[in-house]
Amino acid sequence: MQYRKLGNSNLNISVITFGAWAAGGWMWGGTEKKEAIRAIRASYDAGVTSIDTAPIYGQGLSEEIVGEAIKDIPRDNVQLLTKYGMRWDLPRGDFAMKSKNTDGKPIDIYKYAGKESIIKECEDSLKRLRTDYIDLYQIHWPDKTTPIQETMEAVSLLIEQGKVLYAGVCNYHADQLAEASRYMNLVSDQVPYSMVKRSIEKEDLPYCREHNLSILAYSPLERGLLTGKMKPGYTFAPDDHRGSLYFFTDENLRRVNAFLETITPLARDKQVTIGQLVLKWTIEQPGITIALVGARNEKQALENAAAADVELTPLEIEFITSQLNELTLIK
């Protein structure tokens, strides 16, 4: 495993970080708590010391699972990354979407990052995670109803109180990063980035590189698309959000799998899976600090962790990128 520093912080996190969205089951067709706990512990044993979660993932369930999984691990040995700013229990702020909770009951979700809400969310997260501090606290999505200054000042207060060590953001663009940085020291921006979703390369990634902000890439396997395991005709569970995404249409599955076939010989030569090759390519891209990867079971967790140890030469990375540049998806 490799470890990289976040921005100008003293926080080193594993280049493969455990993404605990799927562990909470919400929008992923449910969860098996014991399997999720085993996956997190297996990741840790393989060197994955960093875990990214959020209250909205299962409406608290993901954080509870993470807290249970790490309860016997010395706290300083793990880095807990969680978020704030999405409420399912308070109809306030910027309406985000209608959804269902883990029991199948309808819920309305709001993006809200007002001061009092952040303070409450932090206390709730600390309890669920069974800890007295959060290593990296991140706004989950921009909230256009609350001034960025108010949001950042609330997190600054939590840092002063020792409940949070460092502040980051998620899904912020360059202009939002610039404004937020006026009010506090940010160390990272967590954004979607994968072989089939590279729009941040135009503006946001260059901004982060210039200002020493780490990029935490989420969905680097594009929710399983880039593993090569999904074929045309694949059927998702009714409450699995992937069924509504254009990535998973039969035509796009055909196109992605055709691309993956071009790099399969390289994976075979390295004796690694396609998914491991994809993850290694991702963390080797300029400006990408770490990749957040989910796992539903121990086997997936160990495969993800091993991606950090794959060795790719600059020529091999260039070859993968050249093949990738020929891929076009239909939106």
Please, which residues have CB within 8 angstroms of residue 44's CB and are 6 or more apart in sequence? Answer: 69, 70, 73, 78
Contact 281, 230 (CB under 8 A): no
Counted residue by residue, the chain has a size of: 331
Whole-angstrom Cα distance, residue 19 to residue 304? Answer: 11
189 vs 169: CA distance, rounded Å: 5
Compute and round to an integer the Cα radius of gyration of the chain.
19
**C-alpha–C-alpha distance, residues 127 and 113, integer Å:** 20
Q: Are 310 and 272 in contact (CB under 8 A)?
A: yes
Query: What Å distances lie between residue 234 and 249, 274, 295, 311, CA to CA?
Result: 9, 18, 19, 32
Structure tokens at 128: 């669920």
Tokens linked to 272: 């690694």
Residue found under tokens 């608290």: 60
Residues identified as active-site: 57
